[in-house]
Chains A and B, each alone.
Chain A
Amino acid sequence: MSDHGSQSHAHPPVSLYVKVISTLTVITAFEILIVVPGVKTWYHENLPAFAAIVVPVILILSAVKFWAVVYFFMHLRQDHGTPRMVFGFPLGLAALMILVLMLLNGHFVSH
């Protein structure tokens, strides 16, 4: 039998989970804030540079949230090796497909 020690790990403390969920909440709140009509109008008038990149910003924030859940809540930071490959490869393909389709259909542009 293989050495199980390679996969044995200390269980993360509750404080780590609290920090992760707090971060996820703040990011989600920010994502919603930037699409609220009044706020959207404000930055379109005062921050046109931000208005131009709001869609990529939302996608990057989503990717950060996605990574945080997978890495900390699903414990992929400890289950390194094969789980990362069998999950990461199809995930990468799916992400690439979504990004290419968004690009081809002009969904990155903010009107």
Chain B
Amino acid sequence: MSADAHAEYTALGIPHRKLGFWTFLGSECMFFGTLIGTYLSYRGKSLTGPYPHDTFSIQVTTISTFTLLASSFFMVMALHYVREGKRFAAGAWLLATAGGGLIFVGFQAFEFTEFYHKGLSLSQNLYGTTFFVLTGFHGAHVSGGILWLLSLFVMNAQGKLPKEKEMDVEIAGLYWHFVDIVWIIIFSCVYLLEFAQ
């Protein structure tokens, strides 16, 4: 029996849930596109400090970026082993993915605290407002993804994630990869742009 045998298909030949989730991700593109666009529009227009050069640390951002990138690889490995029906391996990769996300969020919390100690707050200047709103929403998305992954890990541990339910993991994977690609853009447009110019 095919793994998708129980999924309901649209007239377009794609499962309802998957099509719905791709549509949701399309709306998320506009959401984050707006936040990134706002950051770029107000970039360099703060009248008071601290400014990005006073706060950014390329070392911290580099580590968290590589961690999130690696977690995307862990996610595809988790899906691979769920499809193969290898419960232990699937659980291990799901946990590794959630762990990568936790490290990323930990670094973000550290970064936010450091920035606050340097005088940057949500209402300090345009940079503070646009930066915290953009990266804060992204961090909230990552946190939601971690909870989702941990719930899948628990389901897998209880034997409730057989390969017939691969769609559950695939959709969680779509979400996780999406937060990764959003970070790819934030990393370039917010951090690298600042160091490159």
A and B from one complex: yes
Binding site for B on A (CB under 8 A): 1-8, 11, 14, 17-18, 20-21, 24-25, 28, 31-32, 34-36, 40, 54-55, 58-59, 61-62, 65-66, 69-70, 73-75, 79, 81-83, 86-91, 93-95, 97-98, 101-102, 105, 107, 109-111
Count of inter-chain pairs, beta carbons less than 8 A: 162
Interface stretch, picked from B104-112, B117-125, B145-153, B180-188, is B180-188
With beta carbons under 8 angstroms apart, the residue of A25, A58, A91 that contacts B192 is A58
With A11-B83, A58-B193, A110-B196: A2-B72 Cβ-Cβ less than 8 Å: no
Bound form: Cα–Cα A34–B25 in Å = 31
Bound form: Cα–Cα A102–B34 in Å = 13
A66 touching B185, Cβ below 8 Å: yes
Main secondary structure of the interface of B (DSSP, over half): helix
Bound form: Cα–Cα A11–B177 in Å = 17
Main secondary structure of the interface of A (DSSP, over half): helix
With A83-B18, A86-B23: A8-B2 Cβ-Cβ less than 8 Å: yes
**Most interface-central of B32, B40, B185, B196 (chain A CB within 10 A):** B196
Q: A81-B12, A105-B44 are in contact. List 10 more A-B contacts (CB 8 A).
A: A7-B13, A8-B2, A8-B4, A31-B192, A32-B58, A54-B196, A62-B187, A82-B12, A102-B189, A107-B193
Q: 22 A–B contact pairs at CB < 8 A?
A: A7-B13, A21-B73, A25-B69, A31-B188, A66-B184, A69-B72, A73-B177, A82-B19, A83-B22, A87-B29, A88-B26, A89-B26, A90-B27, A90-B30, A93-B29, A94-B36, A98-B37, A98-B189, A101-B41, A102-B40, A105-B44, A111-B197
